Amino acid sequence: MVVQKLQVGMAGLGRVGKLHAINFLQKTPRAELVAAFTPDPVEIAWGRVNLEPHGVTLYTNYDDMLKHPGLQAVAIGTATSVHAEETIKAIEQDLHVLCEKPLSTDVEVCRAVVQAAKKKPHLKVMCGFSRRFDDSYRDAHAKMEQGLIGRPAIIRSQTCDKFDPSGFYVEYAAWSGGVFVDMSVHDIDLSLWFFGDEVMPKSISAHGITAVQPELKKYNDYDNAVGIVEFWNGKIAYYYCSRMMAAGQEDTTEIIGTEGKLTVNGNPQRNFVNLYHNGGITREIPHNFMGRFSPAFVQEANDFTAACLDNTPLPMKLSNAVKAVEIGSYLQEALVSGKQIHFDEIGRRIQKAQL
């Protein structure tokens, strides 16, 4: 019996691209990584060692990779600035697409991707929000669906990176879209998942500081920021994002309901080991998002592959990827302007009278 495998091409072999490539190559039984693209000579060298010996053809031109014989799907892990362009090109070549978040930092460009996907409804086009594939978040969502915390009313969620003194995130801020679009977009997506796709913001406000990297100010960005989104259906989301954690990655979420609450990763830890010593009791936590969410990326690759091969629904709407960036962009605007932004019940921006 011949088992059908999804023929996948990988775009980008940076940090996230490498993770996706290895997952499709080694940890997704129903997929076969057949091609990979990157214009970066260092990444090509990595591909020659880690991918080429397994039959993966390497390309330095994206359009050439799209023409690889038998290609059925593309996973995109390149720079955010080209996510949308590469996704649309793949759709036009009749290929399924798994694109890393965000689709773009520009909301209108995100909408263009959705429109391109609508023209090819037989294709599976998904934006990869890894937390939706994390066992703990899925368990929390299932418990909420069972009514174990009553009606969810408040979400407090954070994405906090270990401090990187290299200056990488300062330069990255030039095109990242800002901390809310780059980091809190995960937490915003969780709000859409736990509160429901239909939620509409009523007001958005944000504040931030540059506590450890004042150079970020030249890009109107911050290393710590807090945002609050009030929704029309009586729910509130509170987001905290930071790039200055000392111990490691601290991504935690609290869903507070009328009859209880759920917490995910409330006590961050790398594993179940505690070290007891004369200075006290210590435990390690992951140093980066891959240490926390690597298994979720594996599940993401497998769920995407299954949807492509079995023609089953994707676990999330592509339109949510637009809405998450839209809310993130409004948060970023509120952060820079210091002004609260208001909306009517169908999502149109309105001006509030100043008393």
Q: Is residue 281 part of a domain?
A: yes
Please tell me the predicted confidence (pLDDT) of residue 142.
98
Give me the percent of the chain exceeding a pLDDT of 90. 96
Do 345 and 247 fall into the same domain? yes
Do 203 and 337 fall into the same domain? yes
Say whether pLDDT at 354 is over 80.
no
pLDDT in tens, 262-305: 999 999 999 999 999 999 999 999 999 999 999 999 999 999 99
Say whether pLDDT at 355 is over 50.
no
Mean pLDDT of the chain: 96
Do 173 and 275 fall into the same domain? yes
Q: What is the pTM of this model?
A: 0.94
Q: Name the amino acid, one letter, at 125.
A: V
Q: Is residue 299 part of a domain?
A: no
Q: Is residue 161 part of a domain?
A: yes
Say whether pLDDT at 3 is over 70.
no
Domain CATH number, residue 63: 3.40.50.720
- Distance separating alpha carbons of residues 99 and 11, to the nearest angstrom: 9
What number is the average pLDDT over the span 324-338? 97
Say whether pLDDT at 130 is over 70.
yes
Q: Is residue 302 part of a domain?
A: no
pLDDT in tens, 134-169: 999 999 999 999 999 999 999 999 999 999 999 999
Q: Range of 45's domain? A: 6-128
Do 254 and 345 fall into the same domain? yes
Say whether pLDDT at 42 is over 80.
yes
Q: Is residue 86 part of a domain?
A: yes
Q: Is residue 309 part of a domain?
A: no
- Distance separating alpha carbons of residues 182 and 259, to the nearest angstrom: 33
Please tell me the predicted confidence (pLDDT) of residue 351.
82
Domain finish residue from 82, 111, 128: 128
Place of tokens 């059908």: 4
Do 123 and 138 fall into the same domain? no
Q: CB within 8 A of 163, min separation 6: which ones?
A: 212, 243, 244, 245, 246
Phi, psi dihedral angles at 86 (to 5 degrees): -70, -35
Give me the percent of the chain exceeding a pLDDT of 70. 98
Do 108 and 192 fall into the same domain? no
Q: Is residue 1 part of a domain?
A: no
Do 123 and 156 fall into the same domain? no
What number is the average pLDDT over the span 87-98? 98
Domain CATH number, residue 290: 3.30.360.10
Do 23 and 163 fall into the same domain? no
